Amino acid sequence: MNSTGELCIRTGRLFDAASGVDGPGCAVVRGDRIVSVGDDAPAEAGRVLEFPAGVLLPGLIDLHAHPAVSGSVFGVDPDAGLLARGTTTVLSQGDAGAEGIDDYVRTTIEASQTRVRLAINLSRIGESTGRGCFEVLDDADIDACVGAVERHDDVIWGIAVNVSNHACGGSDPREVLRRGLAAAERTGRPILYGMRRPEDWPLAEQLELLRPGDVVTYCFRWRPHCIVENGRMLDCVREARERGVLFDVGHGMASFSFEVAEAAITDGFVPDTISTDLQLAHVESGAVHDLPLVMSKLRAAGMADGDVFAAVTRRPAEILGLGDEIGTLAAGACADLTVLEEAEGVLADCDGVERRGVKWLPVLTMRAGEVVE
């Protein structure tokens, strides 16, 4: 790396939700580890990178996206689509099921510089076709899912169960969730859950079945389901959070509304995690869709920047069970780092509703001590 083996990154602001650090300073890296965080560069640092207008964070963690080199119709190469944009760790939402898991581990998880973890699809076919993954109910195969988790215990975080109309087709969403919960209980894993529209199945009934540690994604969309009514949070959503159910943004192509986010945040409900739901359609659209952009939208909707930072660092690291390794600037943690700078701009939700605000732009990404070009 340099003659002394140490690199120092000095920024106008360092923020670490895990330790409470918030102010100007430097992070010192040796090899793939953070050595220290302090007010200034040590004299022995062999190389210093300066970002006076930047904020230095632990490497960003996207808890819901579609990293996949092959096998998924939604898949984006994580190194090309996420890493250079500030995301050093990403959780796949169901790109692979039991039939494709071995190939997914080989071609995406093991072959990527980005740290990739998987919420394995309860459907054995995963997202390998354009049809809904649960259109054939027998594809929701409990035994096959459990066997896949047991084979790849170290990289499978949980089980993806999306009971939307598209995912289920004519299959009963209640039965799909029942099977997902059975697989989750047998493997000791949480569920990453996509809700069903309430006219098919009341949200209260869905949320009552979820357990502490399960994660509900797409929480700030307004159709076909919505967690606010008349500007207030639904009681069933508050009750689920009080029981330990977690809520994730999952912006995607149609799952973020400024109106819903602003109402929820004003009512004291901030998401546990902020995620992109990055998929191939975003890349093909030509517009940049990355985690710093989604973070910017949440700040424009009223979230404090410290809460935004925590929702892409400390909180997802804890949820993934990696809180001592990532999501922190503590000495000894992995040297995954992201530097963001700000620019004025216009931010749009999935329906084209706009807010003027400040955009965070990634200017440096470090993964395991290596600067990403």
Average of pLDDT values for 308-333? 98
Average of pLDDT values for 294-314? 98
Q: Which one is predicted more confidently, 77 or 44?
A: 77
Q: With cut-offs at 50, 70 and 90, classify the pLDDT of residue 42.
A: confident
Q: With cut-offs at 50, 70 and 90, classify the pLDDT of residue 287.
A: confident
Q: With cut-offs at 50, 70 and 90, classify the pLDDT of residue 1.
A: very low
Q: With cut-offs at 50, 70 and 90, classify the pLDDT of residue 279.
A: very high
- pLDDT tens string 129-171: 999 999 999 999 999 999 999 999 999 999 999 999 999 999 9
Q: What is the pLDDT of residue 27?
A: 97
Q: Measure the CA–CA gap between 371 and 61, rounded to whole angstroms.
A: 17
What mean pLDDT, rounded, does the chain reach?
96
Q: What is the pLDDT of residue 272?
A: 98
Bridge partners (DSSP) of residue 33 are 30, 334
Q: With cut-offs at 50, 70 and 90, classify the pLDDT of residue 43.
A: low
Please state the φ and ψ torsions of residue 305, each to the nearest 5 degrees.
-60, -35
Q: With cut-offs at 50, 70 and 90, classify the pLDDT of residue 4.
A: low
Percent of the chain surpassing pLDDT 70: 98
Average of pLDDT values for 100-110? 98
Q: What is the largest CA-CA distance in the chain?
A: 66
Q: Measure the CA–CA gap between 20 and 287, rounded to whole angstroms.
A: 34
- Measured CA distances, 318 to 66, 125, 236 (Å): 20, 29, 25
Take residue 367 and report the two structure tokens written for it: 């993964």
What are the chain's domains?
6-58+331-371 (2.30.40.10), 60-319 (3.20.20.140)
Q: What is the pLDDT of residue 223?
A: 92
Angle at which helix 142-151 crosses helix 173-187, to 10 degrees, equals: 30
- pLDDT tens string 173-225: 999 999 999 999 999 999 999 999 999 999 999 999 999 999 999 999 999 99
pLDDT over 70 at 3, yes or no: no
Average of pLDDT values for 301-319? 98
- pLDDT tens string 260-269: 999 999 999 9
Q: Which one is predicted more confidently, 40 or 50?
A: 50
Rounded to two decimals, what is the model's pTM?
0.97
- pLDDT tens string 322-367: 999 999 999 999 999 999 999 999 999 999 999 999 999 999 999 9
